[in-house]
Amino acid sequence: MARFSCDYRFLLLLAAGVFIYIQMRLFATQSEYADRLATAIEAENHCTSQMRSLIDQISLQQGRIVALEEERKRRDLECEQMKSLVQDLERKGVERLINKVQVPVAAVVIMACNRADYLERTVNSVLKYQRPISSRYPLFVSQDGSDPGVKSKALSYDQLSYMQHLDFEPVQTERPGELIAYYKIARHYKWALDQLFYKHNFSHVIILEDDMEIAPDFFDYFEAASILLDKDKSIMAVSSWNDNGQKQFVHDPYELYRSDFFPGLGWMLARSTWDELSPKWPKAYWDDWLRLKENHKGRQFIRPEVCRTYNFGEHGSSLGQFFKQYLEPIKLNEVQVDWKSMDLSYLMEDKYTQYYANIVKKAKPVHGADIILKTRNIDGDVRIKYNDQADFENIARQFGIFEEWKDGVPRTAYKGVVVFRYQTSKRVFLVGTESLKQLGIEDA
């Protein structure tokens, strides 16, 4: 009995130990669970806080987006209103400059950029002769860029209409070392001519640059030439410039020529020709592009012997190239020629070749060495044959005229013939190997 009692107490003690162990494990498990639960709750609270922060940020961004969209709409509206205002002002300016009863002969546009002092000199020169006939030659200044001095100067004249070309597209030159300016100039020319031909619907446009002065008969010359331009589709454009128009090489202010070389520097273009050129206008070097045979397609240009424009632009995108030698000595015509009374039909394609051939045929041939001395000692016109470009450049260098060629054509040439005055009135004809044949002259 005593042993049984002892065993019973031992079992109770063992059961109590097991119970205590189980309670301890249960407590430990509960504590661990409570810790995990607390961690989970804390993580959930943190996540909830982050989520709320993210939602707040999204709401803030949405608010900003809405605000930016509203700002964009407001600015777009302002831009549209400003554009409408500018167009209205430009329209009113053009209407003011154009006599609705009299159809304009041509719009005159001065291409400008960042030379306010040059622009002022050019505008004043043009207005001097344009004022009495302003309704027939509405005057525009087209500015490339936003130079404030140029804009202010252009807007200070009531006698002209102002246009502004703003182009923020980056320029990619096609070859290393090229000047970006020539690309910008080409873009500006296309934009301005599109505006004048297609927006304002002019039939002719006379293009000047912001470093030019004009002659007293500038407008009469272009009016007479515009009739030729419209009648004869073999004439691509009319120019007021002669590359060999230096004082020592010109004499007769009444003499006009056809040329296979585009002179530029004060020129008139018809809308029908611009319809052809505008879609394929080049990215740069537009003037040399016009001198390519693939673009002028055998058509010629009318030019005077004595220039009707003078270029004083020593400082510009061309960096004064040729200025001292070729531009500064140019003679600007001072004679008021009555072009309306003159018969210019000899310049029409069906008559000019024979007209010019008769003049060249009468010139005395000069051969061999010492051509300058021989030319000096001959009375009357002379003609000198050159064999190729190098030979031409050598002869041109001796006389001091332009040596440059473009796409196989010397400056000022007609059928390879370059003419200039020497010793006041004597004409010198530099004649290519095929020139006489093209003119129908038997070689002496």
Q: Which residues are catalytic?
A: 287
What is the distance in angstroms between the CA of the first residue and the CA of the last residue of the chain?
166
**How far is C-alpha 313 from the geometric centre of its chain's CA atoms?**
17
Q: Which residues sit opposite 162 in a β-bridge?
A: 141
Residue 427 to residues 190, 376, 393, 434, 442: CA-CA distances in angstroms?
38, 11, 18, 20, 20
- Taking the CA of residue 430 as centre, how many other CA atoms within 13 Å lie in the half-sphere pointing to its CB? 31
Contact (Cβ atoms closer than 8 angstroms) between residue 343 and residue 294 = no
List of residues 6+ apart from 334 with CB closer than 8 A: 215, 216
Question: Residue 220: enclosing H or E segment and its boundaries?
Answer: helix 218-231
Q: How many CB atoms are located within 10 Å of the residue 51 CB?
A: 10
Comparing CA positions, the residue from 393, 366, 390, 364 lying closest to residue 379 is 364
**DSSP conformational letter for 370:** -
User: Would you tell me the crossing angle of helices 116-130 and 218-231 to the nearest 10 degrees?
Assistant: 80
Radius of gyration of the chain (CA): 41
Three-class SS of residue 326? Answer: helix
Comparing CA positions, the residue from 120, 119, 118, 123 lying closest to residue 108 is 123
List, as own/partner pairs, every contact residues 219-222 make where C-beta atoms lie below 8 angstroms and the sequence separation is at least 24, other chains included.
219/105, 219/129, 219/130, 219/133, 219/136, 219/137, 220/337, 220/338, 220/339, 220/340, 221/304, 221/308, 221/337, 221/339, 222/105, 222/106, 222/268
List of residues 6+ apart from 327 with CB closer than 8 A: 311, 313, 314
Interior CA angle at 223 toward 220 and 229, to 5°? 140
Contact (Cβ atoms closer than 8 angstroms) between residue 278 and residue 295 = no
Contact (Cβ atoms closer than 8 angstroms) between residue 311 and residue 208 = no
State the Cα–Cα distance between residues 348 and 325, nearest whole angstrom: 33
